[in-house]
Amino acid sequence: MAFLIEFIKTLLKGIVVGLGAITPGLSGSVLLVIFGLYQKALNAISTLFKNFKKNLVFLIPLALGIGSGMLIFSGIARYFLDNFEMQTRFTFLGLVVGTLPLFIREVTKEKKAEGKKFPKRYIFLIFGATAAGLLISYFGNVNFPQIESPTFLQSILLGLVVAASYIIPGVDSAVILNYFGMYNTWLNMLHLDNLKINGFILKQALPTGVGLIIGVVLISTLINFLLKRYYTITFSVIFGLFISIIPKLLNESCVLGLNGKTAVSIVLMLMGFAFSFFVSDLENNLKRFKLKKN
């Protein structure tokens, strides 16, 4: 029974994480961090064969959830962004900002455990990574020519880029794919109707899947290695990249005013903030809740 409950919990979290890969300005890896699955997923992938059964029990529902979420939300996210863009973007903003305390705890915990103050050089590293992320996002607004029919190698590259967006918080797959002219290709990949097109699976879907698997294994192994050897440095860079996505969550459609649209947007933002703030430290928050209840 406990196994089934854990399976369903991981599956449901994975479904929500799938939203990040197909939503401009959001990152699947950020949602992994919010749900406390980030480092657990990295470790499970990079040590897959060391504890094969245990890692597989965790990764199967997560992968199924992410894949399902991408298919489910590809249409839903686009609908809300097309019809309720301001409200949707403010919700995402709340979700992301509510995770900041979690990142601060993570980036400082190694030095705290050593009884040391957080070194100023890492603060400069965070600012540097933030600036780099903002620069990437700025040039990502340029409309690069889109590839209509990707080659086999381009489809593999597509999978690699999407994998990076899941593993590195702050890396927006929509921006990076736009650089390579593959954002529309990725959206088309998520439409089930395209599977009926002759040769689509062999020419595009299959090589993209291969690239995705290769990217997930290689990049997660690298990041996991860096976190174990250079935890504070690595997480400082990750934190900076994460901060850089915040300004991109809002655009010219998000103009505040004295109207119902603004009121709903602010309420949704606060709800998103409360949700991610609570979930990002779920175990301790539940303990505090139980103590107050008793």
Tens of pLDDT along 175-217?
Answer: 677 777 777 777 666 665 665 665 566 667 788 888 888 988 8
Query: Is 136 contained in some domain?
Result: yes
At 47, phi and psi to the nearest 5? -120, 35
Residue 73 has pLDDT above 90, yes or no: no
CB of 174 within 8 A of CB of 21? Answer: no
| Residue with tokens 């935890």, as numbered in its chain | 231
Q: How many helices (H) and strands (E) does the chain have?
A: 15, 0
d(CA 133, CA 239): 11
For range 89-100, the mean pLDDT = 85
Query: Is 285 contained in some domain?
Result: no
Q: 167: pLDDT confidence band, cut at 50, 70 and 90?
A: confident
212: closest CA among 82, 45, 35, 88?
45
Query: Is 284 contained in some domain?
Result: no
Residue 249 has pLDDT above 90, yes or no: no
d(CA 68, CA 62): 10
Q: How many domains does the structure of the chain reveal?
A: 1
Query: Is 62 contained in some domain?
Result: yes
Residue 281 has pLDDT above 70, yes or no: no
Query: Is 212 contained in some domain?
Result: yes
Which amino acid is present at 277? F
With pLDDT > 70 as the criterion, what percentage of the chain qualifies?
A: 79
Higher pLDDT, 137 or 223: 223
For the chain, the residue count is: 294
Residue-level pLDDT at 270: 95
Query: Is 184 contained in some domain?
Result: yes
Helix, strand or coil for residue 227?
A: helix
Residue-level pLDDT at 24: 57
For range 72-86, the mean pLDDT = 80
Domain that holds residue 52: 2-277
d(CA 67, CA 57): 16
Query: Is 294 contained in some domain?
Result: no
71: closest CA among 212, 194, 183, 215?
194
Query: Is 286 contained in some domain?
Result: no
